[in-house]
Amino acid sequence: MENYEKMILTATTANSWIYPELKNWADNTDDLIEDVVKCYEAGAAIAHIHLPRGEEVDTVKKVRERCDIIIQAGMSSYPIEARAPDFHAKPDMLSVIANHHAEHFPNGNVDVIHDISELEEYCVACKEFNIKIEWEVWHSGSYWNLNYLINKKLLEPPYVLTLFFDWPGGTWSPPTADEYLHRIKYMPDNSMHTISVMGKEQTKIAVLAIQLGGNVRVGTEDFPFIKEGHPAKNNAEIVARMVRISKEMGRETADPSEARKILGIR
């Protein structure tokens, strides 16, 4: 294996969209904060958090009192105006989808348009609040939007991308090696990437990403199992497993301080 930088592990702490019956995630703010801390202790550098509505500032503050994990505010399906509380909570990162939402889950569908003008607004607002954007890339059309923003000089490298696979709905893409290789082939220059796989193929794509210098996102929101048919006790167990896999492959995992330098978070 080439001498890649350390692997940055992201923990998703939210509920499972495709297995809502499992309920092996936090269902209140105090438990959410405890879950984030346990993920940090298990080796996660980033916590992808759906900040509880009405408690955004307090949740970020309480996490930072307990550990220095990088806080990434999720729920990119919301329009930008609905995410004003997230901006004011001042997380380290904000998830922004680089295309439209078209998802299909047991408890309902998500169909939201995110046009190029909204993406431009995100660039301006995140620069104002000193928040690093994590771009969600669900298909190669996302790269047209990203290159548009880069060419307008609205973004500064490194560009942080999460490549999504097997999320059901109209923006679905197959969780296969050829799809992953296709996606990384067309990334903008100066990009770094993480993979998010919703389903049992997660480990296969994670191993490929680790081998090729990518990073990994795991947790109950993506796939709430240790392996198919065996639900995880909690997110820390899922995180610890992927830390072990990465180490066995010869890549140590980054701590939050190291990850900040790699990601360009000031």
Structural domain tally of the chain? 1
CA 31 to CA 176: how far, in whole Å? Answer: 35
Banded pLDDT at 192 (limits 50, 70, 90): very high
Helix (H) or strand (E) holding 48: strand 46-49
In a domain? residue 24: yes
In a domain? residue 18: yes
* Residue 244 to residues 29, 64, 112, 137, 241, Cα–Cα distance (Å): 29, 26, 37, 27, 5
Structural domain span for residue 64:
9-263
Backbone angles phi, psi at 250, to 5 degrees: 95, 10
In a domain? residue 3: no
174 by Cβ neighbours in 10 Å (0-12 / 13-18 / 19+) ranks as exposed
In a domain? residue 1: no
* Residues 202-225: tens digit of each pLDDT: 999 999 999 999 999 999 999 999
Banded pLDDT at 107 (limits 50, 70, 90): confident
Q: Please name the amino acid found at residue 251.
A: R
Mean pLDDT is lowest, of 3-7, 170-174, 256-260, for 3-7
**Residue 109 CB neighbour total at 10 angstroms:** 12
In a domain? residue 78: yes
* Residues 24-78: tens digit of each pLDDT: 899 999 999 999 999 999 999 999 999 999 999 999 999 999 999 999 999 999 9
The CATH number of residue 113's host domain is 3.20.20.70
pTM: 0.97
> Alpha helices of 170-201 — where are they, by DSSP H?
177-185
